[in-house]
Amino acid sequence: MGALVLTALLFRPGILLESRSGGGALHAPVWISLAVGLAIGAVCQRSRFCITGSVRDILLVRSPGAALALGGLLLAAGVADGFTGQFRLGYYDQPGAHLEWLWSFLGMGLVGGAAVVAGGCPFRQIVRAGEGDLDAAATVVGMGAGAVLVQVWGLGASAAGVPTAGKVAVLVGLAALLGLGASVRPH
């Protein structure tokens, strides 16, 4: 896997598609992104940070450490956005932002439910995959495949709102998650 990433960084094979406009075209230089990503990954691997786990610990055991970690993450993201001139409070003038709060809530509920089933948030799955956990690696591959399908099938929301196909996909995902939960429930 590492050799594939290094090849993609060094040689940029033609099979990789790059966005020339929109949210996908906005990114830091590759080497800066790689260095910062490795540093953040090392810190999060050592601390075993998980967003879903932090929320769980805050709500269930009132953990001040989890609250500080999550607050620190949000503060660091806000400072980084402010430093790069990309901080905009609110829904307006955000890439992909829309005002259909119900579908945002249901979509993130689906992500949270899947994170509970998978044993950690998407970020934690990436860290665990880097540690060599094959279940987490399969989850990361599935997240990537899902992202591709969202783009190819036009399921993603935009400033115009959530497309009907996206709403159907969220409902199907929630039904599948509930079905999975019901099928493994002890009788």
29 neighbors 7 (Cβ within 8 angstroms): no
Q: Which long-range contacts (CB under 8 A, 24 or more apart) does 87-96 make?
A: 95/22, 95/23, 95/26, 96/23, 96/156, 96/157, 96/158, 96/159
Q: What pLDDT does residue 96 have?
A: 67
Instruction: Give whole-number Cα distances, 33 to 4, 36, 39, 51, 52, in Å.
Output: 17, 5, 10, 21, 24
Q: What is the pLDDT of residue 142?
A: 92
* Residue 5 CA: distances (Å) to CA of 16, 27, 34, 44, 91: 11, 17, 11, 21, 34
Tens of pLDDT along the chain (187 residues)? 555 566 555 666 565 566 676 666 667 777 888 888 888 888 878 877 777 777 777 888 887 887 888 888 889 888 988 888 878 777 776 766 788 889 989 999 999 888 888 888 888 888 888 888 999 999 999 999 998 899 889 898 887 889 999 999 999 999 999 998 888 877 6
